[in-house]
Structure 1
Amino acid sequence: MTEFHSDLSCPPIPDDVSTAQFLLDSHHPTRPLRSGNIPWLIEDKTGRTIGYEELRSRTYGLANAMHARWGIGNDDVVCIFSPNHVDYPVVIWAAHRLGAIVSCANPAYMMDELVHQLAVSKSFLVISHPDFIDTALAAVRRCNISTDNIVLIDSPAADGPIHFSTVSHLILEGLASSASFLDIKLAPGEGKTKLAFLSFSSGTTGKPKAVAIPHYAVIANVIQMAAYHKVNEPYTTWDKRRFRPGDIAAGVLPFFHIYGLVVNMHWLIFCGISLVVIPKFNFVEFLKSIDRHKVTHLFLVPSQVVLLCKHPAAKNFDLSRIRFFISGAAPLSPELTQQLIKVIPNASIGQGYGMTETCATISMIPVSQHIGTFGSAGQLIPETTARVVKADGTLAGYDEEGELHVTGPQMALRYTNNEEATRETFRDGWVRTGDQVKISRSGEIFVVDRLKEVMKVRGFQVAPAELEGHLLLHPDIADVCVVGVPDEYSGEVPLAFVTLEQRAAQKAKANPEGGDELKKSIIKHVSDTKVHYKWLKGGVEFIDTIPKNPSGKLLRRHLRDKAKEIVAKRTRSVKSKL
């Protein structure tokens, strides 16, 4: 066996429509019919429901206003800098109606991080949440983008910025005006190359890169998942079907992340599921939302699973309505899965696997399983092919380990404006995942290790090279290597091995307290300028020299092993004190 395939197939995937046209204007045989009273979105805080007609109308109004005011059109880039919001999909689909590209940015980004995304994506218009307007303003000024090209996705507080247009204001303006645009028309096959998103990923190394995702990839992934889960097939009784129009899912995963963007926003809406839009994850408030909206479906990441299993507040809420649960973005341990079964006893529970470069999903728990095989990331979804490539370049068979390479209609095209990184990851239609896996005879994918350097912190990618480059700006650091260390809540967190400049090293050796202050200074150097999940929660360790091979490449694996020893020693020390 040299290649692995799903036994399932898909109906035809349209290649001549945008995501907006696919979701708002057309029907597909894998899509169930949703009655008119089933909302598409539910605003968590207010309970306000938003249906098809309102979403379609708001999308048109915003597209009309964006084209009339700024001439937004073919291949212009609109950046969304906001937490989840009920108008998030409206902004995306309005841009797509105009032929524009959307780049979703993490609202927790510091100014330099947002500048990087705006510059690489060449964004023209920025849709910001008012809570993050100061960062947005600083970033657009650095990028020489006019501050007139900032729009607020929500109304500001009474003491907030009032001189910016809001999305709602633009929608009213667009609906009150005559049509200024024509919906884009794609030729047959054009959807495979016409870009929908520039989603940022660290890939296997380095700073975040703009993953070029065409409309066809998003539409394909939605149809693949729908066919895989038999969403529109009467394969069992209604009460036992996994996805039913009228079910309710918690939309707590961030829409700027590929998991929340494609799986939660596009796929669940396609399936007829009502999505509760939750702007920010606060565990106790999240539990209240589950109870308040009678949520039946949860899509989470392992750090959130840890809270479900271990936070005392979870025992105060009735989670018996949960019918389906899936974890993604990082592996979920068998031990945690066993605990989760006790917390949500009525739910089917499993995992999925994917990445930004594969436009989200390549594998999921199959319909045939109520509880997914422990440790498994599920089975390949339809039309997806995988190879497991061993270290010597040969193809592995069943239960043999190697790097996972995948191909299918959902693959992204490239890293925009980065030919070197593209050559490393995208090869003849195949994506090198950087993950070491093995595939069992039953088709289960087991992620064994990560070959790539990128860490996964709470499901977010953190590139060591980005932190290392920033740390080298610290005046007391001569050399540095960042590695991930295991963490029960976050999966892993960054730890920095630091070689100090001579004077600072002498000071640290002569005065242990001074060394501790220096470590705090280094940790602050990162926390002052980087988003919270990139902070050095694993700490700082001073080391005489950073190990490298003869060509100067960091021997990161050596320090990764050393870091595990340090963490184990810390754990033993804590236990002995207890």
Structure 2
Amino acid sequence: MAEIVSSAEDLPLIPDDLTVPQFILDYHHPCRPLRRHDIPWFIDGQTGNKVGLEELRARTYGLANGLKIKYAIKEDDLVLIHSPNHIDYPVAMWAVHRLGAIISGANASFTTDELVYHVNMVKPAILISHPDCVHVAYLAARATGIDANRILVFDDRGSCTPGATTVQSLITLGLASPPGFTERRLNPGEGKTKVAFVNLSSGTTGKPKVIAISHYTPIATSIQVAFHLRVNDDKVPWEERRFRPGDVASAVLPIYHIFGLAYNLHFMLFCGMTLVLINKFNLVNLLRTIEKFRITHLPLVPPQIVLICKYPKVREYDLSSVRFIKTGAAPLASETMNQVAPLFPGAHIEQGYGTTEASTIALCPLETKTDLSGSSGVLLPGISARVERPDRSLADWGELGELVIKSPALALGYTNDSEAHKETFSDGWYRTGDEVRLLKTGHLFVVDRLKEILKVKGYQVSPAELEGCILEHPDTTDTCVVGVPDEYSGELPMAFVVLNPQTAARVREDPRVAGEVKQSIIQYVASKKAAYKRLAGGIEFIDAIPKAPTGKLLRRVLRDRARKERAKL
């Protein structure tokens, strides 16, 4: 039966009396390799400015002291960061934690209404924004009764916000003033209950839920992953180590998201790596950044991988420094994995799997050099898992079912939805809501969200599987498959498709081309998939696929749109 039970003894000690900045900035763990003093912690992707450990400690202390002096931030206050990645984003998080307060991150591209929703959910004491999006912060603050004086702005080259209090001014104030706070120290075991982050779920299946995450979660994740990958194991030859002190990783994934927060930021810093902070994703800018800073590690989400595969000029860039590509946040079809591999010859390429509620769950083992099978790897040490059928009985090995896990890195739960909390978290187990297959080898294959699986003539159809196939077609650059109601079949797969610029231009010039292209895509899928998986619901061209900030497809938006259109017929 598909069940794996892991013992806590499989893991080294996970300290439960440290805050996140104490663990990252002040503490050495046996799984952590030593970082040379000349290896920077961060590089600003725009300016090239480098920041090392002592400067990070000083800036974190200065900001914590400034926040205490000017705003009296105290235990369990919440500070909302509404900003793209910025060189002082980690400093702001860790300063707030030094005070015993809580961080929540919001997407910099939020509209005013979306930010208002976030603000109302988490009730921040102050809001830290960025010059590029602070106008939205001011509008949201006005709508929610937050004084404009309680909005801080990150300093950014070439941008300014007249009259605003800047983060740098608070750091300067804090460093020039006597200590106004005593750093929060945790009692043994308190790290497991003390809230560090309040994140919002991606909202792919409904309204976002508020997720409370303890200090222990990112600490446990870093140790689990490092132990799993033998990061500091002297028995692993240097050339076979996946993460080495001095490696350089892109940090284009948003820090407020769990993939960017736990894996890209804290785990990679734990490994002694340098992070090149990129404030927003732009494909050409990313490729130039790889060249300029000789990036070795690329954590990306599936839509970014797809863009790389589809970009006709990608081979004009020197990408030879890249040794490792990790994709997560949503399933990536094996077809796309195989397309990206030739663009990075010699690089290790893999999928991983995690959720906001459980951080990283599965990764490839160190012995696997490259896995293009579509597997998300094997479960991390310390994670117990079972795959359940709809009646909650255990599935067989390789049988589809819902993944249910126990992990030391579980979130504390949902704070705004008691019913969802009870359904999802029970007796130390977390119901992921993801349909998976678990093999006897321990390899995990994530198929799709359970609520997004289509039922066609009684057969289950994964939208992600069809999307991977559609993206192989030369006329497409992006796609999203949804189910539309059908009296005979129950549901039929329908595809929203973004055409490449050349094909889109042909369609605009001659509307008859649209029908030819649609038929070509339908026939291509039919040649690759079983009859019940064919795009019998049709194809609609669209300018852009709506996505959550993490890159997850907002399938429900297009599903609702398709069903409304069907209802008119």
TM-score calculated relative to the size of structure 2: 0.81
The yes-or-no answer on 1:356 pairing with 2:356 is yes
SS at match of 2:352: strand
Correspondence for 2:390:
391
Correspondence for 1:300: 300
Hey, what's the Cα distance between the residues in 2 that align with 1:540 and 1:383? 42
Residue deviations 1:216-237, cap 9 Å, x none? 1111011101111111112332
Q: Distance in 2 between matches of 1:356 and 1:544?
A: 33
5 Å-filtered alignment, 1:477-488, equals 486=467, 488=471
**Which residue is equivalent to 1:187?**
187
Partners of 2:351 and 2:375 within 8 A in 1: yes
Structure 2 partner of 1:569? none
* Partner AA of 2:386 in structure 1: R
Q: Map 1:107-506 onto structure 2 (within 5 A).
A: 107-155=108-156, 157=158, 160-202=160-202, 205-358=205-358, 360-372=359-371, 374-453=373-452, 486=467, 488=471, 489=477, 492=480
Letter in 2 for 1:284: V
Q: Per-residue deviation at 1:492?
A: 2.8
Quote how far apart the aligned CAs of 1:373 are. Answer: 5.2
Post-superposition offset of 1:417 = 2.5
Q: Which amino acid aligns with 2:344?
A: I
Partner of 2:29: 28
Q: Which letter does structure 2 place at the counterpart of 1:96?
A: H
| 495 and 142 in structure 1: CA distance in 2 versus 1, 3 angstrom threshold | farther
SS in 1 for 2:410: coil
1:442 Cα deviation after fit: 1.1
SS at match of 1:196: strand
SS in structure 1 at match of 2:451: coil
The 8 Å contact of residues 6 and 380 in structure 1, kept in 2 or not, is answered as no
* 1:470 paired residue number: none
- Judged with a 3 Å threshold, the aligned counterparts in structure 2 of structure 1 residues 539 and 244 are, in CA distance, closer, same or farther, namely same
How much does 1:452 deviate? 2.8
Unaligned runs of 5+ in 1: 456-482, 498-522, 548-561, 563-578
Comparing 281-290 with 484-493, which one deviates more in the overlay?
A: 484-493
Q: Distance in 2 between matches of 1:58 and 1:368?
A: 40
Letter in 1 for 2:403: L
Take 2:276 and 2:70, find their aligned partners in 1: how far apart are those partners? 32
Partner amino acid, structure 1, of 2:170: L
Aligned-pair CA distance for 1:128: 0.3
Greater shift in the superposed pair: 224-233 or 442-451: 442-451
RMSD of aligned alpha carbons: 2.9
- Count, aligned residues: 492
Distance 1:384 1:422 in 2: 20
**Paired-residue identity, %:** 46
- Kindly indicate whether residue 19 of structure 2 is the aligned counterpart of residue 18 of structure 1: yes
Cα deviation, 1:103-131, whole Å, max 9, x if unaligned, reads 00001111111111111111111000011
Contact 2:201 2:211 in 1 (8 A): yes
**What CA distance in whole angstroms lies between the structure 2 residues aligned with 1:495 and 1:91?**
43
User: Following TM superposition, by how much is the alpha carbon of 1:338 offset from its aligned partner in structure 2, in angstroms?
Assistant: 1.4
**Alignment map for 1:48-63 (pairs within 5 Å):** 48-63=49-64
**Change over 3 Å in CA distance of 1:130–1:313 after alignment to 2:** same
Instruction: Report the secondary structure of 1:395's partner residue.
Output: coil
CA distance in 1, matches of 2:478, 2:187: 45
User: CA 1:544/1:282 → structure 2, altered by over 3 Å: closer, same or farther?
Assistant: closer
Contact 2:301 2:550 in 1 (8 A): no
Contact 2:3 2:386 in 1 (8 A): yes
Instruction: Write the deviation string for residues 452-510 of structure 1: whole angstroms up to 9, x where unpaired.
Output: 3599xxxxxxxxxxxxxxxxxxxxxxxxxxx999474556378999xxxxxxxxxxxxx
Q: How far off is 1:537 after superposition? A: 6.8
- CA 1:453–1:147: 2 relative to 1, 3 Å: farther
CA distance in 2, matches of 1:454, 1:353: 18
User: Residue 537 of structure 2 corresponds to which residue in structure 1?
Assistant: none
Q: What is the TM-score of this pair, normalised by structure 1?
A: 0.80
Identify the residue that residue 499 of structure 2 maps to in structure 1. Answer: none
Q: SS of the counterpart of 2:211?
A: strand
Distance 1:3 1:150, change over 3 A: same
Structure 2: any 5+ residue segments left out of the alignment? Answer: 455-462, 472-476, 486-541
Which amino acid in the other structure matches residue 84 of structure 1?
N
* TM-aligned CA deviation for residue 5 of structure 1: 4.0
CA distance in 2, matches of 1:287, 1:166: 31
Instruction: In structure 1, give the amino acid aligned to 2:127.
Output: V
**Conserved 8 A contact 1:203-1:454:** no
Deviation digits for residues 261-300 of structure 1 (CA, Å, limit 9, x no counterpart):
1111111011101000000111011100000000011111
Aligned position for 1:519: none
Q: Distance in 2 between matches of 1:319 and 1:3?
A: 41
Amino acid at match of 2:432: T
Provide closer, same or farther for how the CA distance between residues 493 and 76 of structure 1 changes in structure 2, counting only shifts above 3 A: farther
Shift of 1:531: 12
